[in-house]
Amino acid sequence: MQVTGRKVAVVGMGGAFPTCTGLDDFSEKLFANKSLIRQWDKVAQYGKQIRSTVSGYITEEEMGLEAVIAPIAEDYPETYIDKLGRIPDANLATADMGSIWAMLGAQDATKMAGWSKSEIESEQTGVVVGSGGAGNLILRIAWHHFFQEGRKARIAGSHTIDRTMFYRDAANISCLLKTKGVCEAIGSACATGLGNIGYAYRLIKFGMQDRVIAGGVEGSSVETFVGFDGMMVLSKGFTPEESSRPFDLNRNGFVCSFGAGIVALEEYEMAKARGANILGVIDEYFNNSDGDGDMFYPSFAGQQRMWKGLLNTRGVKPDVVKVHGTSTPAGDAIELLSVVDALGDSGYHISAPKSQFGHMLGGAGSVEFITALLMLENQKVLPCLNSSTLNPELETFQKAEGWAGPQNPLAAYRHLVPQESFAKEINSVACLNYGFGGTNSAISVSRDI
């Protein structure tokens, strides 16, 4: 049972975004309808070994970092140098690339929040940040030297474990900021970023913490990219800018991308009392599982139950639905139809941020939650780029016996899916993310009015 009167405000945000110098640059490019996706030389060099070569990736140089290569292990980043002096060397030593992004995002989010040193280091301030994968670059080199070259374990260095453990991002943030509250990581595949924010919301809502640093991360990783390419689920055959095309008739897979999104959450009355700039108020979080036993295929029934849970308390139709919208053939169709089934076919618009920067996996939900906050701030809807043609025919599953969803083809909902950003009064945004294993997550966030 929720604690009466406890509301949750978003008071800060930060992260790491492809091709962008920071949050302001990220916002400016998104609302200018630009794509952050480009050809990735690190995978393109493998030629015919790999099908897809485009990504929304981030380099060390773009984040002001420099790898220090171990003298006895070729290509092994023993640690990193922060050229801008933002993170102490001791904290860099325990972090992989994604964890460094998480720490930088946490610094930006807490600075924007205006939290004092004593508030950050309080027992009432927690950290809930997760990642979709391991510290693959570090593991690749470490295991190569041990298994293939037969070298001693110490060649891998003393930080292989702490730089690759599942909750490394949360741990590094907590150690950097010296928080004393909850420190955890929730893993739910591509719903990880939103799931961590949702869990943080519940910690505050239920009275267990007053402030939480929350979000998700996915550090640039050739290993992760190759894994998805091997599943043959990545987009191919388009220019980089046209590769991510949610809902489009010619979509053929998602763009594997990387990034970090970190937000600062605070109990609403506390934030209000100290005059904080409230970026948004989280109205509800709901998550569930499909329960159909299928690891990969999306479930219309599961998403129906997710929508029922999200709308159950307030029943308020959002002005914008920030969809998962990956560009996969089945996933996009089922998601659009489940949105229409829940909300009808008018009174809102659909935004698909992955069309601009690809699918950031463990970081997707939190970076896209930040895009929802930016839409509230700018009073503009972000587009669904490249959604040029929606299917004018019924989907195969719509023709199957027992289908209980909308009876119209996707093209009937063209008016809900804008291809360019535009101004609109936005008071509420619903954020959706899904993951392997049939996990579904949804958050409703609104303006403080």
Is the pLDDT confidence value at 27 over 90? yes
Give how many domains the chain has, as a whole number: 1
Residue 153 is predicted with a pLDDT of 80
Residue 299, amino acid: S
Which domain covers residue 20, as residue numbers?
8-446
Cβ atoms of 255 and 358 closer than 8 Å? yes
Is the pLDDT confidence value at 314 over 80? no
Instruction: For residues 434 and 195, give the distance between their C-alpha atoms in angstroms, rounded to a whole number.
Output: 10
Is the pLDDT confidence value at 4 over 70? no
Residue 360 lies in a domain: yes
Candidates 386, 347, 392, 352; CA nearest to 368 is 352
Give residue-wise pLDDT tens across range 54-105.
Answer: 999 999 999 999 998 877 666 778 889 999 999 999 999 999 999 999 999 9
Residues 6+ apart with CB under 8 A from 113: 11, 12, 211, 264, 266, 276
Residue 1 lies in a domain: no
Band (3; pLDDT cuts 50, 70, 90): low
* 359 assigned to active site: yes
Instruction: For residues 122 and 7, give the distance between their C-alpha atoms in angstroms, rounded to a whole number.
Output: 20
Select which of 324, 349, 384, 431 is catalytic. 324
* 190 assigned to active site: yes
Select which of 20, 256, 349, 359 is catalytic. 359
Residue 2 lies in a domain: no
Is the pLDDT confidence value at 444 over 60? yes
Q: Is 152 exposed, middle or buried (0-12, 13-18, 19+ CB in 10 A)?
A: exposed
Q: What are 175's strand-pairing partners? A: none
**Does the global pTM surpass 0.95?**
yes
Residue 124 lies in a domain: yes
Select which of 20, 190, 256, 431 is catalytic. 190
Residue 301 lies in a domain: yes
> What's the Rg (C-alpha) of the chain?
21
Q: What percent of the chain has pLDDT over 90?
A: 87
Residue 1 is predicted with a pLDDT of 43
Residue 351 lies in a domain: yes
Residue 3 lies in a domain: no
Residue 234 lies in a domain: yes
Q: What percent of the chain has pLDDT over 70?
A: 98
Give residue-wise pLDDT tens across range 182-205.
Answer: 999 999 999 999 999 999 999 999
CATH number of the domain within which 258 lies: 3.40.47.10
Give residue-wise pLDDT tens across range 45-59.
Answer: 999 999 999 999 999
* 415 assigned to active site: no
